[in-house]
Amino acid sequence: MLYLFTILLGNFDHFLFNSIYIFLISFFSNTFSAISGGGAGLLQLPALILSGVPYYQALAGHKLATVALGVGSSLRNYKSLGNDIGVAWQILIFGLPGVIIGTYIVEFLSEKYLYLILGIISILLAFYSFLKSDLGLSSGNIKLNFVHKIRFLIFIFLIGILNGSISSGTGLLVTILLIKTFEMDFLRAISMTFFTVGIFWNFVGAVFLSRIGSLPLNILILLIIGSFTGGYFGAHLSKLNGKIVIKKSFTTVCVLVGISLLIKSIKSFL
pLDDT digits (tens, 9 = 90+) for 178-193: 988 888 888 888 888 8
The domain in which residue 199 lies consists of 15-269
Distance (Å, whole) CA 71 – CA 64: 11
CA angle in degrees (0–180, nearest 5) for 156-157-159:
65
**In this structure, is residue 111 part of a structural domain?**
yes
Q: What is the mean pLDDT of residues 247-258?
A: 75
Taking the alpha carbons of 186, 200, 101, 45 in that order, is the dihedral positive or negative? positive
Q: List, in sequence order, the alpha helices (H) in 37-110.
A: 44-50, 55-77, 85-105
**In this structure, is residue 24 part of a structural domain?**
yes
**In this structure, is residue 154 part of a structural domain?**
yes
Percent of the residues in the chain that have a pLDDT greater than 70, as a whole number: 74
Would you tell me how many other CB atoms lie within 10 Å of the CB of residue 110? 11
From 10-14, 77-81, 118-122, 234-238, the region with the lowest mean pLDDT: 10-14
**In this structure, is residue 5 part of a structural domain?**
no
Report the pLDDT value the prediction gives residue 127, as an integer from 0 to 100: 80
pLDDT digits (tens, 9 = 90+) for 93-118: 999 999 999 888 766 766 667 677 77
pLDDT digits (tens, 9 = 90+) for 148-162: 999 999 999 999 988
Total domains, the chain: 1
**In this structure, is residue 150 part of a structural domain?**
yes
**In this structure, is residue 210 part of a structural domain?**
yes
**In this structure, is residue 8 part of a structural domain?**
no
pLDDT digits (tens, 9 = 90+) for 165-176: 776 668 888 988
Helices 85-105 and 146-165: angle between axes, nearest 10 degrees = 40
